[in-house]
Amino acid sequence: MDFNNDKPIYRQIIDYAFNCIIAGQWLPEAKVPSVRELAVQMTVNTHTVLKAFEYLQQHDIIFPKRGMGYFLSYDAKDKVLSARREEFYTTTLPALFREMEMLGITIDDINEHYRP
């Protein structure tokens, strides 16, 4: 995985997990890759992955089964979508609005160019 310098690596691992959940690659109540597997896959230290897993566990997105590893919560996708929306509204959208203001772009301009 190519990491960028704008965000701590453990946060980028959380984003990777979020993407896997949203895309349906990690399924509800199924086992997720182990800390060691993910560390090897991403070529990072296991402590970095563990920090990301601690975040996911604290937010009830994954849960441990003693001796078996980590599993995805049944409602993980809903929690991830909610977290992503909150991040969009608090981080992405304000930056977008600042850029729009600097460039003189209006909401009407955006609506004119929006193509779902």
Phi and psi for 65 in degrees, rounded to 5? -120, 120
Integer Cα distance of 92 and 96 in angstroms = 6
| pLDDT single digits (tens) 28-65 | 999 999 999 999 999 999 999 999 999 999 999 999 99
Enter the pTM of the model: 0.86
**Structure token pair of residue 47:** 């402590």
Instruction: Give the HSE-up count for residue 37: Cα atoms under 13 Å, Cβ half-sphere.
Output: 6
